[in-house]
């Protein structure tokens, strides 16, 4: 079987999501995939890729405008591909009852219908 081509598109304000995206890309390469990693602001449409991984952080309860715009611009293509989303935020780092927040549809609802909204 051919090596899968995985596109990792992320947005990061202070570098945390970027580091996690780079680690994910490294792990995927170790697993045998060809990986392209890029910031949402520089990302082109997901053409000739088998899987897309999206990463974003949360600020003031919101995903970034940059990642959201990338998703909206490419929604039809993303919905036709296996697509994963990871999000980085302080609430996710906690161990308390805040993790019991009920998942709600988020701004990238077309890709991941329900995620934890911090």
Ligand X SMILES: Cc1cc2nc3c(=O)[nH]c(=O)nc-3n(C[C@H](O)[C@H](O)[C@H](O)COP(=O)(O)O)c2cc1C
Binding site for ligand X (CB under 6 A): 12-17, 57-61, 88-91, 118
Measured from the CB atom, the residue of 52 and 56 that comes closer to ligand X is 56
Closest CB 86 distance from ligand X, rounded Å: 11
Query: How, if at all, do strands 51-57 and 34-39 pair?
Result: unpaired
CB of 16 to ligand X, least distance (A): 3
CB of 99 to ligand X, least distance (A): 11
Residue with tokens 């600020």: 59
* Nearer Cβ to ligand X (64/74): 64
Nearer to ligand X, 31 or 61 (CB): 61
Residue 6 or 67: the one with the smaller Cβ distance to ligand X is 67
- Rounded distance, CA 118 to CA 57, Å? 10
* Cα–Cα dist 18/24, whole Å: 10
> How far is Cα of residue 102 from the mean position of the Cα atoms in its chain?
20
Q: How far apart are CA 106 and CA 87, in angstroms?
A: 11
CB of 88 to ligand X, least distance (A): 5
């Amino acid at each position: 079987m051919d090596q899968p081509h995985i596109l990792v598109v992320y947005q990061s304000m202070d570098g945390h999501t970027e580091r996690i995206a780079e680690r994910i890309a490294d792990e995927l390469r170790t697993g045998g995939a060809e990986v392209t990693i890029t910031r949402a602001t520089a990302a082109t449409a997901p053409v000739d890729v088998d899987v897309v991984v999206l990463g974003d952080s949360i600020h003031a309860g919101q995903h970034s405008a940059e990642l959201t715009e990338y998703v909206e611009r490419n929604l039809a293509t993303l919905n036709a591909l296996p697509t994963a989303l990871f999000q980085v935020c302080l609430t996710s780092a906690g161990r308390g009852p805040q993790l019991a927040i009920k998942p709600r549809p988020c701004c990238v609802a077309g890709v991941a219908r329900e995620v934890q909204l911090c």
